[in-house]
Structures are given as structure tokens and as C-alpha cells.
Amino acid sequence: MADAALAIVPETWGNLVPVFTALLPLPLGFFMSNDAYWFGVVPVLAESASHYGVHANQIARAGAIGQILHSMGPTSAPLWVLLGLVKADLGGFQKTALRWGIPVSLAYILFAVLTGAIRIA
């Protein structure tokens, strides 16, 4: 799987794997469970990134930063409990939450790049 992931990334873009790893969980984390993401996707990304000299800590940090939208997605069990308690529907919640969640997630990723938490070599 790591070889297949490497085939997609051009050699000159290898230094951008941490940023890609931070952006990928925005849609994936929204629709996937945490277990599937952390035990299925992140190890493959970490293995792929190691071929470009990117340490696994960078990938773990980038993966965690991109998980902001997971708590707004339909696979988040606590969200369903909360929606049931306040008698709200998922669609209405997501219209409001995603309007703020997506820009905040992108700003958080940009901040991580600017501060060096995610490095672009």
C-alpha cells in the first residue's frame, strides 16, 4: 500500500507529504471512524513519508491536526448523543458547524506550517 501511495506523489512533492497528511483527514475523518483512519491510513502515510525523509512524528502531528472535522461527521457517536439530547438534526448542525469548521481547520493547518509543527523541507 505504501508503494501505491508513493506512486501517486511526484518525487519533487515529497516534502509536501505532511501538508497532504493534514489536509487528507478533513474529508476522510468526516466520513471514517477514528480507528480506520489511525490504524489503516496513517501508518501507510507514515511509511510513504519515510521514503522522502519525513519522520513519523510529523505525520502523526499532521494527522491529528486534520481531525478537527471528525467530531462533526456522522461517524462520531458523541455527536449523535448530543443531537438527541438537544433535539436537533444532523443536517442543520452540519450546515452551521461546517461553515466555521472548514476555515478553522485550514487556518490551524496553516498555523502549524508557519510555526514549524508541520515542516515543509
Q: Is 53 left (phi over 0), alpha (psi -120 to 50) or beta?
A: left
Tens of pLDDT along 39-69? 988 898 888 888 888 899 999 999 998 788 8
Choose among 79, 80, 63: nearest CA to 29.
63
Q: 105 pLDDT band (50/70/90 cuts)? A: very high
> Crossing angle for the helix pair 90-115 and 56-65, nearest 10 degrees?
140
pLDDT, residue 84, reads 95
Tens of pLDDT along 10-37? 778 878 888 888 988 888 888 888 888 8
Res. 80: pLDDT tops 90: yes
pLDDT, residue 5, reads 62
